[in-house]
Structure 1
């Protein structure tokens, strides 16, 4: 979907990115096409691990498709303990994990990221063509200090960032805090967009003393400021008023401000999106059309906080990805959460190499892309995921695995399968707050055509419970892959003498097996 109004600059609010086509990006020999749907909320790298980031952004930077944000696969990610990670892709389908952008435990970096509202969260990255550096702006709120933004730079998009200093934005009163921000390069000029919150009414004087309104609970302003060539200082400011959102919030509205130029008069719009389909906007990426064609696609990404596997928001959540379409006046058309709606982006092939990983090379596996949902509230006493081995050799890695004689015997009473490997998983803080992939070594010989499977259970016989590990489940399955489930409280034959283990047609857990 291409905008007929490419000269119009769009400010997509919440994490606030001002976007416009950069003609220098319209050079590519190969093109890619990627379709997103509202039901595809989880994305995986070439090793089968989920992209477990929060408060980041799916972006297009200097010819790279990159997904970056606060890594969520460890406790306390909201305080920056896991650092900021990135994933890159040549086609928005195959993602490679690049690790941390910088060492968050380094004393200099740790000091730069120390703030009352989190450590270097909600990162934004642009490429500075004048210095030929990648520039990372981050967020570290300081309620009692002048407004500053930690700035990191690197020759590489995905690693080696070092602290370059603070961006001293202008016009921030004492005790106001610089928070949500965005970066943009428009016609070769760099801009920072940020919000200011006045906590003096709510925090300083005290809401309980009657000095705060019911809503909004504080005053918030929106600022757009031109940057100096080194990205470290503002040169002037203009102010727009709006009502803000919060970290780890679900069902947030999308607000956009649009203008034909950064210094012009802005028009405010609340974009209809069913509260971002149960999420919160991260930002908008400008993807140039492939092969030098005019126009661009605006790709909006959002954290989907209604889809974490655990009740706490401090865990891996899903994502929503949309392409924006525009009316003749430049306003954004409504976004739909209808599962049948497709959002397609066509763009140049990214600079990242096509890489192969463990999952890509796995012998048997579930699809790496699909309409996966994540849960740990096991609706059944046990899951049984089965498949037919497609290769003989040594089975090295899989989940809790067994081999069985036939489907008839598997569903028969008193049948005991051949256990090839098993493991118990305890509930600890690391697993509870993330979606770390769990791998089980096997080391057993299998033949082509062997009937194999693994079981996932809640550890409570015949009862519903919370499994110590979460699982992904897809609404599509590969041929010769079957998923069975044992209903809660059912440990004997049904009234019609059918087994309590039931086939879940067309469904499949996320898994892979390696046979060498």
Structure 2
């Protein structure tokens, strides 16, 4: 019996040690994300398959040990104010480390005639997906901003945080309840669940010229309760985020409001309850680090809770807002609970309390791969302008895959063409194309995505080759992702402004691509 007791104690000790090691391992999950490169230029975040993350004006939420990034998609070519522009829908990405994001697709099917009529370019559009979990109903609740009805919102439910979501009845809100449908009634919003399980909706009242209001939701979070605090801000504001920290409630917002602006202010107010009374506003940034505020998300670290601030780095109302990047960094607080002025950071590292290290998708038979670090976009491939990227084959076999991360802009009127050449010692094209592949313009996303072609041509280890991008487009252009941080001066990138007659080496530049070679 004594031996059994000692053996049991040993087993308990072993299990306790394993648990401690597990917690320690979890605490070592590092999340390092890059907002800007060392030259303070925006860089693009990519998914686990190497495509730009196309989820804007949304939020990061944490459900059941997984981080979810929700946002509006622009990849199909939505343009605010362009009547024929399609609505792209809302996407979600998941991650266990907030660095490696896996595309989980759309929250619901937005291609239907109904949703196109509600949200395409002939309307004011549909924006800002926010998801909260209702413990009483065990349902995830999605609110989106629309402009085809009275309330200004549509609501959905799902048993899964990634959807698919199903629309429920139109919500009723206390503000602008008697206003005509399909107008600028209520807009930009945030959903918030308090510690006691009460839900709230912070939203923008456009009829009062952009004041922010907060309304308590019904128990199921599917509609407003009628209990509301109006005119928390004096007007000309939007994009609210509502959160609680150490008994203080905070409301951050865009100050002033400025749709798709690349640098509008962020201010905040505080209260002892979500319904106020609220303090006067204090500005913590005059440019939101080059964007417009989008969300504030509580994230638990090994050192305690932080409040991650996000802004969308819009392109000053450019035609292609899928190119907008993201700024993410924790807010900093003083001893009295006030938020300190924002200091924009190129890079942020977090030690997550919950998470595990993610990874990029493994590419089978990969030969060349430029990776995903510090890439930015440029768009000029059209008419006489061509772009090239050279490489060496590391093994003999069949070049069966070439992937180039590209996008379209301003509706090109001709297809994209990818050509494969042999290359000289400077990695410039020589001779006639080994392969020419036509990419239909309608198949190229507006968001930087992988266009994958299969040349199926023999290559020899140590030999040089170059892929060339060109188009006859005289309206619009195609873009490419690149960085100028290659350690070798001639990293293979080249440029032609005369239709491919002459090429110029672009020093230290790499265009984002990968190749695979299957051995014979």
TM-score tier by shorter-chain length is 0.7 to 0.9
Q: Which residue is 1:383 aligned to?
A: 387
Which of these residues, 335, 338, 341, is aligned with residue 334 of structure 1? 341
Distance (whole Å) between structure 2 residues aligned to residue 263 and residue 70 of structure 1: 28
Task: Give the corresponding residue for 2:103.
Answer: 97
Aligned to 2:242: none
Does the 8 Å CA contact 2:421/2:430 hold for their aligned counterparts? no
Provide Cα deviations, 1:187-227, integer angstroms capped at 9, x if missing partner: 132211111111xxxxxxxxxxxxxxxxxxx6222111222
1:238–1:318 Cα change, 3 Å: same
Which stretches in structure 2 are left out of the alignment for 5+ residues?
1-22, 238-256, 405-417
1:13 alignment counterpart: none
Aligned mates of 2:375, 2:295 — CA distance in 1: 23
- Note the 1:172-183 alignment, pairs <5 A: 172-175=176-179, 177-183=185-191
Q: CA deviation at 1:395?
A: 1.5
**2:165 is matched with which residue: 161, 164, 168?**
161
| Cα 1:432–1:363 shift into 2, 3 Å | closer
Q: TM-score, normalised by structure 2?
A: 0.74
From 232, 249, 260, the counterpart of 1:248: 260
Deviation at 1:435, TM superposition (A): 3.4
1:275-424 equivalence runs, <5 A = 275-290=287-302, 293=303, 295-306=304-315, 311-337=318-344, 341-350=346-355, 354=358, 357=361, 362-376=366-380, 381-398=385-402, 400-404=418-422, 406-407=424-425, 410=427, 416-417=430-431, 419-424=433-438
Q: Describe the superposition over 1:31-59 as per-residue Cα deviations: whole angstroms up to 9, x where unpaired.
A: 33223333453111122211123332334
2:288, 2:190 → 1: CA distance?
19
Go from structure 1 to structure 2 and tell me whether the alpha carbon gap of 1:190 and 1:470 turns closer, same or farther (over 3 Å shift): same
The runs of 5 or more residues in structure 1 that have no matched partner are 1-25, 199-217, 493-499
State the SS of the aligned residue for 2:288: helix
User: Counterpart of 2:55?
Assistant: 53
Q: 1:82 to 1:37 in 2, by over 3 A?
A: closer
Task: Find out whether 1:192 has 2:210 as its counterpart.
Answer: no
Q: How does 1:445-484 map to 2 (within 5 A)?
A: 445-457=458-470, 468-477=477-486, 482-484=491-493
Q: Deviations over 1:268-326 (max 9, x none)?
A: 44544352233222211111114xx5x31222222222289xx4145432222222222
Contact 1:402 1:417 in 2 (8 A): no
SS in 1 for 2:297: strand
Number of paired residues?
446
Give the deviation of 1:124 after TM superposition. 0.7
Larger relative contact order (C-alpha < 8 A, sep ≥ 6)? Answer: 1
Q: Residue 111 and residue 122 in structure 1: after superposition, are their counterparts in 2 closer, same or farther (change >3 A)? A: same
Q: Secondary structure at the match of 2:160?
A: coil
Give the aligned partner of residue 237 of structure 1.
228
Residues 124 and 137, structure 1, Cα contact 8 Å, conserved in 2: yes
Other-structure match for 2:137: 131
**Mapped pair 1:224 → 2:214:** yes
Task: Please report how far the alpha carbon of residue 509 of structure 1 lies from its aligned counterpart in structure 2 after TM superposition.
Answer: 0.9
Structure 1 pair 170–94 and aligned structure 2 pair: CA distance change class (3 A): same
Aligned pair 1:75/2:106, yes or no? Answer: no
* CA gap 1:479/1:127 in 2 versus in 1, 3 angstroms: farther
Query: How far apart are the structure 2 equivalents of 1:480 and 1:393?
Result: 28
| Aligned-residue CA RMSD (Å) | 3.7
The answer (yes or no) to whether the contact 2:444–2:451 under 8 Å persists in 1 is no
- TM-score, normalising length from structure 1? 0.75
Deviation of the 1:230 alpha carbon: 0.4
Residues 1:116 and 1:168: Cα distance change in structure 2 (over 3 Å): farther
The question of whether the paired residues in 2 share the 8 Å contact of 1:148 and 1:169 is answered with no
Q: Give distance in 1, aligned partners of 2:291 and 2:354.
A: 28
Q: 1:470 to 1:110 in 2, by over 3 A?
A: closer
Provide the rounded CA distance (Å) in 1 between the counterparts of 2:370 and 2:448: 17
Q: State how far apart, in whole Å, the 2-side matches of 1:345 and 1:282 are.
A: 20
